[in-house]
Amino acid sequence: MRVFAIADPHLSRAFPKPMDIFGGNWEGHPEAFFSGWREMVGPEDLVIIAGDISWAMRLEDALLDLQDIAKLPGTKVLLRGNHDYWWGSIGRVRSALPNSMYALQNDSLVIGDVAIAGTRGWDVPGSRELTPEDAKIYRREVERLRLSLESLKGKPYRYLVLALHYPPFGPGGEKSAFTDLIEQYRPDAVLYGHLHGADGRRLPQDWKGIPLHFVAADYLQFKPKLIFDTSLRNDSPEE
């Protein structure tokens, strides 16, 4: 099974919102997102969508975008982003999802040999001046990531992917409570999006030897990034 990731599709079929006003990287959106997906992903593949999925404010409107994604090849795992205002009660979200689509929140998934854990994340200390409310959200998101990772105990898997919407480090690559958890659990890959107009080549490529993948859709030219192919790996299974 091949594992892909992409973040920030920013779909808006219910109330179309042109994204090219944010720069040339968005030219051809949203059609480029769907064509790029079909070019890269096959029916047996897994794709992690790391947040900012739909501009919709209500779940009923976001379902138009989710149904469009559901028609694409592969199994999809969704993570909440800071603009996913439609994402309310996780039970309600999950009950509304089309087939072949899963939502991750405070827990984890194992699909085939691959475990997926993660949370939205937030701006880390040092990235900007955090308000008391920001600090509260930051601590809550760290705890949610801890819960997600701890929920894997007792589950058999070979490979662990840790997914976030926000980058887990500061603007200069500074450590955070998120990177502490990365070091503790040592996933096979960490992925994140959120940053627009960023040059992924200038961002940290690994954290203490653990690969970091920047997967914002506009940076990837709307083609999901191959994280790894399980058929090409010979790692020992986790206990």
Query: What pLDDT digit, counting tens, does each position of 152-195 carry?
Result: 999 999 999 999 999 999 999 999 999 999 999 999 999 999 99
What three-state secondary structure class fits 121?
coil
pTM score: 0.95
Calpha distance 25→232 (Å, rounded): 32
Alpha helices in the chain (DSSP H): 31-40, 59-70, 90-96, 132-150, 177-185
Give the residue among 44, 92, 112, 36 at the shortest CA–CA distance from 69.
36
Side chain identity, residue 196: H
Contact (CB, 8 A) for 51 and 89: no
* 13 has pLDDT over 70: yes
| Residue 23's pLDDT band (cuts 50, 70, 90) | confident
| Residue 198's pLDDT band (cuts 50, 70, 90) | confident
Calpha distance 50→77 (Å, rounded): 8
Domains and CATH numbers, the chain: 2-230 (3.60.21.10)
**Bridge partners for 108 per DSSP:** 117
Calpha distance 232→134 (Å, rounded): 41
pLDDT digits over 29-86, tens only? 999 999 999 999 999 999 999 999 999 999 999 999 999 999 999 999 999 999 999 9
Burial class, 95, CB count within 10 angstroms (exposed 0-12 / middle 13-18 / buried 19+): exposed
User: What is the pLDDT at residue 235?
Assistant: 60
| Residue 27's pLDDT band (cuts 50, 70, 90) | confident
